[in-house]
Amino acid sequence: MTNSSDPCCLQRLRNTAFAALLCTAVLPLPVFSETLRFAAQGDIATLDPHAKNDRFNNAMVQHLYEPLAMRGPDLKVIPGLALTWVPIPAKNGTSNLWRVTLRPGVTFHEGQPFTADDVVFSITRAQSPQSHLQSAASELGRVRRIDATTVEFDTRKPNPLFVETLTLIPIMSQAWAKAHGAELPGNLSAAQETYAHRHANGTGPLRNAVWKPDVSLTMDANAGWWARANEGRATGGSLGNVTQVVFQPIQSVATRVAALATDAVDLVVDLSPNDRAYLGSNKAMKTVSGIENRIIYFGFDVKSPKLRQSTTADTLQDNPLKKPWVRQALWQAIDYATLQKQVLKGEHQPTGAMVTPLTTGYAPALDTLPRFDPAAARAQLAQAGYPNGFALNLNCPSDRHPVDEVLCKAVANFWSKVGVTTRLRLQPKTQYFAELEKTGADAFLMGWGGATTDAMYSLKPLMHSAASGASASAGVAGQFNYGGIADPSLDALIDQAETEQNPILRTSLMLQALQKVKQEAYVVPLYRQAILWGMQTRISAAPRADNRLEIFRVRVQPDKIAAP
């Protein structure tokens, strides 16, 4: 490895163009030029920061684009592109207005200055109907420019989660987006792309993204990143020494592990619990693990008069999943003990709750699991009017979660044993989610969670009935309620909690809503997802509770240092 502190040796760096940038940057990158090669189960879906709300996609794209507020390694909210946010109280003591002061001196990767105009543009763009962040962005209300470094938000109603919501909306350059005809995000479900789908220009720690779908994504470190000052203390943790990252999607976990074992990659995520022992036995490799702030669950079509995916062989005249007794029977037919032993391998944690202990609104009582009793499940199905069972489709992605395929095969077997003929449909995640959004499904596998630590981020988009009408917030409630849940009493609890200023009462309301979701079995929680990464011993990387690989914190120990 070349010592880049010697100007005479810069020409020997692997990337001479980047070496020149190192020479001229006010805030230089680390001494050694290091490339991180890592692999995950699936590819990103887009580089457009508002076109897809997906955990992995968000984690990668937010290395390029940044929000106004960000989260430190402990998930606590800290300043990002905004320095401060201050509520402006009204005479009645409530506050619908927030004054946000922006960080000065920040530039986008292509040189455009970051100003209040970019904030107004980005929030408005994220609120558009085709945006996957519409639900969250709309909660910020109207935003207007006060001056170049100040904006004001009018949330229209009290919003206890205003600051948390700021962490979810990445900021784009208005001038760049307009110059390239990307004023709105493309609709990926309709295969609509804009320039921003394959190109990026943010303010984040990585830049120069080159994406070859299903092949690779490469990005370089941003030598001019504002957070490099003071050794990165503004980010809540130390910075690493990675100057380039090369990401490869590798669907097969066995192939990912083989790539790590042969030193073809430095780090792999989305590992199977079966791989821990093997990696631990190799002195050149190691694992890091934890429990993610994420719930994997089944959703059901509880709205359609008939099952959407019924066939001509099905004789049902109605949709059994509309009845809570049927959903409860399906839940009772799941053998969690067998899942834990044979599928989850003791790594992932079975749960009966739709939120984790990190979440405001969680209570241990939510975590109880139904007693596994196939006979009782059969009897309940008979009482619901299906003594001979029925047939349904179970739809699952094959490359989204570490054990999604084997999990769905196991549950399909459980349900078939109680008389519910379960046709398993496995699809790559890109095709799976596009179909789910467009046509729905009988029963479907989903994951939800991440950096958000409040139950409202699960209740409002997943369990609230879909909004309608001409109000400014229409269309954002129930944005990911693919099962069509529409329960007025549940909506009322969610709506009241959404604006409640008393934190104790607000938490109580959210708990009541979660208890109702559980009682009605609108969804079936399965497990809290485990984080399991494997890496070469020369790599230092630690996951956050939202399973985010922060590439700018990764440290690569050089194999050797070349003589100057």
pLDDT tens digits, one per residue of 401-449: 888 999 999 999 999 999 999 999 999 988 999 899 888 899 999 999 8
User: What is the average pLDDT across 184-204?
Assistant: 92
Closest C-alpha among 420, 526, 449, 435 to residue 482: 435
In which element (H, E) is residue 540 found?
A: strand 539-540
Round to the nearest angstrom and report the end-to-end CA distance of the chain.
9
Q: CB–CB of 163/85 below 8 Å? A: yes
Q: CB–CB of 527/431 below 8 Å? A: no
Provide the pLDDT confidence category of residue 190 given band limits of 50, 70 and 90: confident
Q: Give the residue ranges of DSSP H helices in 71-159.
A: 116-126, 134-138
Q: Which residue has the tokens 């994951």?
A: 447
User: Residue 114: what residue type?
Assistant: F
Q: Within 10 Å of residue 359's Cβ, how many Cβ atoms?
A: 21
Range of weakest confidence among 89-98, 113-122, 499-508: 89-98
DSSP result, 369-415: PPP--HHHHHHHHHHTT-TT-EEEEEEEESSSSTTHHHHHHHHHHHH
pLDDT of 340 over the 50 cut = yes
In which element (H, E) is residue 530 found?
A: strand 523-536
Tell me how far the alpha carbon of residue 374 is from its chain's centroid: 34
Q: Within 10 Å of residue 330's Cβ, how many Cβ atoms?
A: 27
pLDDT of 7 over the 70 cut = no
Length of the chain: 564
* Spatial separation of the C-alpha atoms in residues 150 and 117, rounded to whole Å: 10
| pLDDT confidence of residue 365 | 94
The 10s digit of each residue's pLDDT in 23-59 is 333 344 444 469 999 999 889 999 999 999 888 999 9
| pLDDT confidence of residue 410 | 97
User: What is the average pLDDT across 49-78?
Assistant: 94
Rama region for 261: left / alpha / beta (φ>0; ψ in -120 to 50; rest): alpha
3-class DSSP state of 61: helix
User: Residue 136: what residue type?
Assistant: A
Closest C-alpha among 169, 217, 212, 156 to residue 69: 169
What Rg, from alpha-carbon coordinates, does the chain have?
Answer: 24
Provide the pLDDT confidence category of residue 325 given band limits of 50, 70 and 90: very high
Q: CB–CB of 533/267 below 8 Å? A: yes
* Spatial separation of the C-alpha atoms in residues 143 and 320, rounded to whole Å: 45
Closest C-alpha among 252, 286, 251 to residue 266: 286
Positive or negative, the Cα torsion across 73, 476, 119, 245? positive
Pairing between strand 390-397 and 443-449?
parallel
The 10s digit of each residue's pLDDT in 207-257 is 999 999 999 999 999 999 999 987 788 999 999 999 999 999 998 889 999
* Spatial separation of the C-alpha atoms in residues 98 and 504, rounded to whole Å: 23
Pairing between strand 443-449 and 242-249?
unpaired
* Spatial separation of the C-alpha atoms in residues 332 and 328, rounded to whole Å: 6
Provide the pLDDT confidence category of residue 312 given band limits of 50, 70 and 90: low
Q: Looking at residue 343, what DSSP letter applies? A: I
pLDDT of 473 over the 70 cut = no
Provide the pLDDT confidence category of residue 563 given band limits of 50, 70 and 90: very low
User: What is the average pLDDT across 373-393?
Assistant: 95
The 10s digit of each residue's pLDDT in 77-95 is 999 999 999 999 876 666 7
Q: CB–CB of 45/188 below 8 Å? A: yes
Provide the pLDDT confidence category of residue 469 given band limits of 50, 70 and 90: very low
Token pair listed for 517: 């979701």
Mean of pLDDT over the chain: 88
Domains of the chain, each with CATH number or no CATH: 7-269+549-556 (3.40.190.10), 294-529 (3.10.105.10)
Which residues share a beta bridge with 211? 217
| pLDDT confidence of residue 8 | 35
